[in-house]
Amino acid sequence: MGTTQTTPYESLAAQAPATALWTLLKVSSSLASTLELSEVLQIAIESAADLLGLETGAIYTLENGVLYLGAATPSLPPQFPDELRQAYLFDHSHIKEVVSSKAPVYLDDARQAPLSAAEKIVVDARHLISVLYFPLLLKEAVIGVFIVGTTSQSRQFTKSEIDLCYILSFQVALAVANAQLYQKAQQAVANLSQAYDATLKGWSQVLDMRDNITEEHTHRVADLTVALASQMGFPESELGHLRRGALLHDIGKMGIPDAILQKPGRLSADEREIIQTHPEKAYQIISQIEYLAPAMDIPYCHHEKWDGTGYPRQLKGEEIPLAARLFAVIDVYDALTTDRPYRQAWEKEKAMAYIQEQAGKHFDPQIVTAFLEILRTELNPPI
């Protein structure tokens, strides 16, 4: 029957005192409670100082020869030198030794030890006497370093305490790796979102040009939509979807023939019927793109009317999604106050009066009230 091999972590843990193991178990639980790298590192350095009964400490992550301060205990005040926040590995010989040997380095009295200029800044700024550097090890790689020390008297470290440092290092390294992976995944999602939004902006500009509308129209209505939604208490998480919906409100017109879309004169009944299919075409386009599904309400429903006489589905009152009700007011107001090939722009006061007159007919009365409040504040800002 074969024997099972123990890992270095398990071997060290088997020799640790029960009180230390209890502390490490609590540390492990705390580390498992978050995927935020800053929180992981703060837990790590506070745990290291607590485990060894020390007054001060810092933890740095290491990337491509650069040391980045992750956390410190006690926290660094803002005026502390940059050398405590970011540094090059080759400027810190003792840390460099830790990285190359993958083993702790101990200074009995850092005030008397040979230090590089950068190391002396750290020692002096933190008033360190005895210093223990030990590696943050992930498998065979050093991904960071702990620096802990005393500020009142010199201190020796036993083999048992060094072993505890290794156990802590294993725990923290896994938590750091998980947090970094999560952070990279979040950044990848953010980058992808930015790329999508840049594409949507391009689409909206093409649509505006094709519809003989300046590109400022789409940007204006998108900005106003977000501003009004914020004032009305929409959650921050929904504002991006609202902006995308506003940018793509007329995407369905991609399916409308140029002869109709760009016709300078009045449309016939048949042509108006074709134009009024663009919300359904928007639905057909957007429903195929999962990323845009939460932005569907505006392109699909912004031509519905509060009294049920809109299109494409003759929705009435609160049957109309709130985002579409909100956007409808803004879209009409912007259209009225902008020069078009077939008419001059209205004065703002005239357009506001029209919007007010259409409350309860075309528009949701509560949204009209909120929107006109924004406009009046812009026209008559508080002194």
Catalytic residue, chosen from 102, 120, 201, 253, is 253
**Structure-block tokens of residue 3:** 């024997």
d(CA 12, CA 162): 10
d(CA 231, CA 5): 62
- In 3-state terms, what secondary structure has residue 264? coil
C-alpha 90 chain-centroid distance:
33
153 and 236 belong to one structural domain? no
**Structure-block tokens of residue 262:** 């760009």
Residue 195 falls inside a structural domain: no
pLDDT (0 to 100) of residue 165: 83
175 and 225 belong to one structural domain? no
Residue 3 falls inside a structural domain: no
| Domain stop point among 184, 201, 222 | 184
d(CA 366, CA 175): 49
β-strands 131-138, 66-73 pairing: unpaired
User: Who contacts 132 (Cβ-Cβ below 8 Å, separation ≥6)?
Assistant: 52, 104, 105, 106, 107, 146, 147, 148, 149, 157, 165
Cβ-contact 12, 20 below 8 angstroms: no
Cβ-contact 50, 23 below 8 angstroms: yes
Closest alpha carbon to 60 in 165, 110, 133, 163: 133
DSSP class of residue 346? P
User: Who contacts 23 (Cβ-Cβ below 8 Å, separation ≥6)?
Assistant: 47, 50, 51
94 and 224 belong to one structural domain? no
β-strands 131-138, 86-88 pairing: unpaired
- The answer to whether residue 253 is catalytic is yes
Which CATH number characterizes residue 300's domain?
1.10.3210.10
The upper half-sphere exposure of residue 263, i.e. CA atoms within 13 Å in the direction of its Cβ, equals 13
Residue 203 falls inside a structural domain: no
180 and 256 belong to one structural domain? no
pLDDT in tens, the chain (383 residues): 444 454 554 454 445 454 555 566 677 777 777 788 888 888 888 888 888 888 899 999 999 999 999 899 988 777 776 767 888 999 999 999 999 999 999 999 999 999 999 899 888 888 999 999 999 888 888 999 999 999 989 998 888 888 888 888 888 888 888 888 888 887 877 777 777 777 777 767 666 665 555 557 788 899 999 999 998 899 998 999 999 999 889 888 888 888 888 787 788 999 999 999 999 999 998 888 888 889 999 999 999 999 999 999 999 999 999 999 999 999 999 989 987 766 788 999 999 999 999 999 999 999 999 999 888 877 665 55
139 and 103 belong to one structural domain? yes
274 and 338 belong to one structural domain? yes
Question: Which amino acid belongs to residue 77?
Answer: P
125 and 267 belong to one structural domain? no
pLDDT (0 to 100) of residue 350: 94
Residue 158: how many other CB atoms lie within 10 Å: 8
Provide the whole-model pTM: 0.55
User: Who contacts 289 (Cβ-Cβ below 8 Å, separation ≥6)?
Assistant: none
**Structure-block tokens of residue 246:** 């506003």
d(CA 179, CA 65): 20
**Structure-block tokens of residue 219:** 């940007």
Cβ-contact 232, 330 below 8 angstroms: no
367 and 273 belong to one structural domain? yes
Domain that holds residue 323: 211-379
